[in-house]
Structure 1
C-alpha cells in the first residue's frame, strides 16, 4: 500500500526499488498530483553517507523515511540513516524551524591553514579506534593507563581522562568515555580539524557541528561520527569562546553507536 494513500487519490501506483546515483531508494510512480509540500520545497542535492548524490525536492518525513520528488516527477523514499548530517539538519530546520540549533560547517583544512594552527602543532596523533577495541583496562600497565600517564609528555595534551564500562567481575572493561584537554583553548575551526587529524577519525567533508547546551555548559556536537563513536562533544570555554575540551562517548560492548 502506498504511504500517500490516506491523502492523495491514485489511479495507479507501482512500487519498485531503484538505485539512484548509488543511493538505495524506493521509487513510487504515480499519475496523481503530489502534495503541496513537494511543490513548496526547493530542488536540491541530497547526499548519502557514502557520498553519492541524488537530486530531489523534499515532500515529507514519515515513520523514519524521507520522501523526495525527483526532477522527472517520480517520488523516491529513503531512511534518515542513509542521509548525510547536512541533509538531516536541513530537514529538521524545515519541519521545526523554531527548534533549530545553531550550526557551523567546516571543510577539511589545507596544509597551509594547518601550519598556522598552534594547538594542532602541539598534539601528537593517535588512533582512537585502537583504544575502543581494548577490553581490559583495569591495570596500570595497560595501553590506556600509559596514554593517561603520558598525556602531556608524549602526546601534548594538558590532561587525558577516561571512564570504562565494568565487566561482570566488576573490573574496568571497554572504554565508555574519554576527555582530552588541550594546553590552551583552541578556536572551533582548529578543534574540528584536530578532531579529524589527531584522533584519526573518518569524518565527512565538510564537518558539521551543532551547538547544544547541557548542564549549564555549551558544546559543539560533531555530526557524522564513525560507528565506533557514539558522540563527540567540543566543550566551549566561556571566556574565550574557544574549545577547551574534547569529549568522546563510546557504545557499550558488542553494540554500535545509534544516531
Structure 2
C-alpha cells in the first residue's frame, strides 16, 4: 500500500491510496487530469470518495466516469453532487478496493461534509481523508455550518487514533503555521512542525500528510481548551470567553481576517 498526493489547481491535493497492483481509491478528484496522468505510471482508479460538493473536489469525476463507466463513486447525501453512484452518511461503512472505511459526518465547512477513516493495522497507521474540515495547523472556513457544529466535528476527528495520517484537501500548512504561531508563540511542537513544513515545501515536497498526534499538539483549532489558546482569545475579546464554542468562534474569526 502507498499513499500518493496528486497536486491539482493552485494548492489542492487529490489523494490516491494505491495497492500493490496499482489499483487506487481516489479522494476528491476536482480535476481529472492529474489522475489520468498518473495512469501512465500504472495507477488505475478502483473507487472514488467525495467529501463535499465544492467544484475543486468533485469537478473531475464526470471525466473519470466517462473513461471508466462502472467506477464506484461514494458521496454524501447532497443534490449538489450529481455524480455519485452510492450515497453514504454518518456511521456508514464501505469497502473500496479491499479496504474498509468508516464515514464520519463533519458539518461546518459545508453542512453535508463527510470524512472517510480507514483504521490502521500492522502495515499502516490508518488514514483520515477529511477534505476541507481539518487542515494541517488549521481548519476550514465556515461557509454553511456554525462554530458549534465545526468544533464538534473537529472533536470527533481528534478522538481518532493518534497516529492516523491526516490527508486534507489543500496545501495550507505554511499559511496556517503563521497564524498558529500568532496564537501560541511559545508552542515548541508548533515551531518544530512549522520548520519541517518550510523545509519540505522548499524541497518541492508536500507538507502532508500530518498526523492527529501532531495536530493535537500544534493546531490551535484542536487546542481551544489549552490555557495559552484561551488566553490569546481573552486578550482579543477583552474578557474571558464564555465557553469553548466562543473560544473556537473567535479563533476562526481571527483567522478569517489574519494577514501574516
- TM-score, reference length from structure 2: 0.24
Q: Which has the larger radius of gyration?
A: 1
Which structure's residues are more often strand, by fraction?
1
Which structure's residues are more often helix, by fraction?
2
- TM-score, reference length from structure 1: 0.24
